[in-house]
Chain A
């Protein structure tokens, strides 16, 4: 996925976007960059709001939870430094893959928190907003990738596995979800900044 200047790639026949002009692509990239700025900010706020409602030790600054297996959780493939060294196309590919899955996971989290913290309306709203923003970003990424001729990842396979049985594990998986959401938001922001330098307005 190197030739960014080619028109619609055969891999993208299912894409709904038509080839955009150079200027249109640059505009789209800038818009998407703005979205990632928003996502970064909101994901920070979401984590803070989330841990507040779960209680100590979740909201202590040195909270050190064990890693856990959350079905479907799209963890970043490489450490942050290596992320910056990938090509634009590779980054877009990984982002598209992650953001295909994140909205659904945030939605599940919303449902869990509605039951677990029924009065935390601010948290519920932020979770809904996060899912919405991720869906928006997924759409934008698809449009950019279509215009640049970057192949898209296959659609995510259906996630097996049930929600955690105990409340503590639900709190924990939600925490990991928030951290992951934040991590991906940072990575998407970095990716869009780098892409924007190649497609200035």
Chain B
């Protein structure tokens, strides 16, 4: 036969080129020019046992008599570590046993590798051990329904630590007083221990929900959790959130929104919450007592400051449910700025040159920001009026062109809220006669 050199690092005992007795193996491929065992070099029993942590196991390795190996020539390893010879016992000429005690949890989910070696180190046979704990009852089941259309549930595994064995979780549900058990199919949608039921949910009748955990050592079932879909409804954030000034009032902004579109016709009793922060702070202030209206006025704000505002909705009381619903996500932040009354409308004294350069620096920073955020604005041009005679133009197409007639900034797909600041800017500059530029 032809031995494939440099191909498999075949162990000496594992590939001796002898055929054992019995029928010649049918050659399935033409490219198998070398001989190999039709029977394994040795056999370990038991194969794939499953055991509790701390238990004991006696395993045996029986070598194929054709190998002419003696039991005394064998040794054992577990996960690569050699087991002490004191735990071995020669049962007969070709069989060696090993006694394992007080087993630790499996090191990998695919099982611990218990291997029988011949004296030169080559591997004769192996068996994978699964050592762990049975699962405990899953706990803390929480569920929510998006717009009464579906149901997502989360839970926590019962065991504080690990079971060391792969544990399968199955979420089951049924209508309380009739119907058969249903099994949730769509797992890990909201984290590792979660499942999503996308449809066919009844509304005015309670469900029983529970989670079954099972692994090789056993099964545990959580307590049954009862719920009514209408008590755990959440929805999308409110739509069309706008924030605008209240006339000239420096310390107020008016926030308006519409109820989330999916539940628009049901939200007689919904609650809303607003949170807002100043542009350069991470601290949100929450307005809690907004109630059911779709508008609110924020007061006590700082003049001349940009604010970010978000709104969210809790669809409680839907269809007469008595329980609190579940808060939606916050809407995308919307920005607006409060007016600053330092400028007297219509009059603006040209200050010293130093103020102008501060203004230019601030504006340059601002324009850099606008340019960065002006998606899709190929023709965006920003004009900066310095002295009325001279102005600088920044645009994607032309740079440093002096002396052209000013034209209004074309607005294109820039998020509405974030333009608040720059709208201010343009209005301020263009509302003054082009005599001097004023700091904003």
B127 CB-CB contact with A under 8 Å? yes
Number of chain A residues close to chain B: CB under 8 A: 43
Q: Is the CB of A166 within 8 A of B127?
A: yes
Q: Is the CB of B31 within 8 A of A65?
A: no
A72 CB-CB contact with B under 8 Å? yes
Scoring B14, B25, B26 by chain A CB atoms within 10 A of each residue's CB, the highest score goes to B14
Closest beta carbon of chain B to A28's beta carbon, Å:
26
Which A residues are in CB contact (< 8 Å) with B9?
A: 64-65
Q: Is the CB of A55 within 8 A of B112?
A: yes
Q: A56-B80, A76-B31 are in contact. Are A66 and B127 (CB under 8 A)?
A: no
A77 CB-CB contact with B under 8 Å? yes
Closest 5 A/B residue pairs (Cβ): A66-B14, A56-B80, A168-B126, A167-B128, A55-B108
Closest beta carbon of chain B to A77's beta carbon, Å:
5
Which B residues are in CB contact (< 8 Å) with A79?
A: 4-7
User: Can you list 21 contacts pairing A with B, beta carbon distance less than 8 Å?
Assistant: A54-B113, A56-B77, A56-B80, A57-B80, A57-B113, A65-B123, A66-B13, A66-B14, A66-B122, A73-B29, A75-B32, A116-B111, A118-B166, A159-B28, A161-B28, A166-B48, A168-B44, A168-B48, A168-B126, A172-B126, A176-B8
B81 CB-CB contact with A under 8 Å? yes
Scoring B36, B108, B110, B122 by chain A CB atoms within 10 A of each residue's CB, the highest score goes to B110
Which A residues are in CB contact (< 8 Å) with B122?
A: 64, 66
Q: Is the CB of B36 within 8 A of A69?
A: yes
Once bound together, how far apart are the Cα atoms of A159 and B128, in whole Å? 27
Once bound together, how far apart are the Cα atoms of A76 and B14, in whole Å? 20
B11 CB-CB contact with A under 8 Å? yes
Q: Which residue of A lies closest to B25 (CB)?
A: A69
B383 CB-CB contact with A under 8 Å? no
Which B residues are in CB contact (< 8 Å) with A64?
A: 9, 11, 121-123
Residues on B facing A (Cβ under 8 Å): 4-11, 13-15, 25-26, 28-29, 31-33, 36-38, 41, 44, 47-48, 77, 79-81, 107-113, 115, 121-128, 166
Which B residues are in CB contact (< 8 Å) with A97?
A: 31
Once bound together, how far apart are the Cα atoms of A157 and B32, in whole Å? 14
Q: A64-B123, A67-B36, A172-B126 are in contact. Are A167 and B11 (CB under 8 A)?
A: no
A162 CB-CB contact with B under 8 Å? no
Which A residues are in CB contact (< 8 Å) with B31?
A: 74-77, 94, 97
Q: Which residue of A lies closest to B48 (CB)?
A: A167
Q: Is the CB of B128 within 8 A of A67?
A: no
Closest beta carbon of chain A to B58's beta carbon, Å:
18
A7 CB-CB contact with B under 8 Å? no
Q: Is the CB of B107 within 8 A of A165?
A: no
Q: A67-B14, A120-B109 are in contact. List 4 more A-B contacts (CB 8 A).
A: A54-B108, A57-B80, A65-B123, A75-B32
A58 CB-CB contact with B under 8 Å? yes
Q: Is the CB of B11 within 8 A of A65?
A: yes
Which A residues are in CB contact (< 8 Å) with B124?
A: 66
Which B residues are in CB contact (< 8 Å) with A74?
A: 29, 31
A71 CB-CB contact with B under 8 Å? yes
Closest beta carbon of chain B to A85's beta carbon, Å:
14
A135 CB-CB contact with B under 8 Å? no
Q: Which residue of B lies closest to A183 (CB)?
A: B7
Per-residue contact bits, chain A 46-74, to B (CB 8 Å; 1 contact, 0 not):
00000001111110100011111101111
Q: A168-B127, A171-B128 are in contact. Are A117 and B110 (CB under 8 A)?
A: yes
A80 CB-CB contact with B under 8 Å? yes
A119 CB-CB contact with B under 8 Å? yes
* Total number of residue pairs linking A and B with CB closer than 8 Å: 123
Q: Is the CB of B123 within 8 A of A54?
A: no
Q: A57-B115, A69-B25, A168-B127 are in contact. Are A116 and B110 (CB under 8 A)?
A: yes
Closest beta carbon of chain A to B114's beta carbon, Å:
8
Q: Is the CB of B81 within 8 A of A56?
A: yes
Q: Which residue of B lies closest to A54 (CB)?
A: B110
A132 CB-CB contact with B under 8 Å? no
Interface residues of A in 147-189 (CB under 8 A from B): 157, 159-161, 165-169, 171-172, 176, 179, 183
Contact of A53 among B28, B80, B110 (CB under 8 A): B110
Which A residues are in CB contact (< 8 Å) with B109?
A: 53, 116-120
Scoring B26, B81, B115 by chain A CB atoms within 10 A of each residue's CB, the highest score goes to B115
Closest beta carbon of chain B to A86's beta carbon, Å:
13
Q: Is the CB of B127 within 8 A of A57?
A: no
Q: Which residue of A lies closest to B127 (CB)?
A: A168
Q: Is the CB of B108 within 8 A of A57?
A: no
Scoring A72, A77, A120 by chain B CB atoms within 10 A of each residue's CB, the highest score goes to A77
Which B residues are in CB contact (< 8 Å) with A116?
A: 109-111
Q: Which residue of A lies closest to B14 (CB)?
A: A66
Once bound together, how far apart are the Cα atoms of A159 and B41, in whole Å? 24
Q: Is the CB of A67 within 8 A of B10?
A: yes
Which A residues are in CB contact (< 8 Å) with B26?
A: 160
Closest beta carbon of chain A to B110's beta carbon, Å:
5
Contact of A75 among B4, B108, B125, B126 (CB under 8 A): B4
Closest beta carbon of chain A to B425's beta carbon, Å:
50
Once bound together, how far apart are the Cα atoms of A118 and B110, in whole Å? 9
Which B residues are in CB contact (< 8 Å) with A161?
A: 28
Which A residues are in CB contact (< 8 Å) with B44?
A: 168
Once bound together, how far apart are the Cα atoms of A159 and B32, in whole Å? 14
Once bound together, how far apart are the Cα atoms of A171 and B107, in whole Å? 15
Q: Is the CB of A60 within 8 A of B11?
A: no
Q: Which residue of A lies closest to B121 (CB)?
A: A64
Closest beta carbon of chain B to A192's beta carbon, Å:
20
Once bound together, how far apart are the Cα atoms of A79 and B29, in whole Å? 17
Closest beta carbon of chain B to A157's beta carbon, Å:
7
Q: Is the CB of A55 within 8 A of B6?
A: no
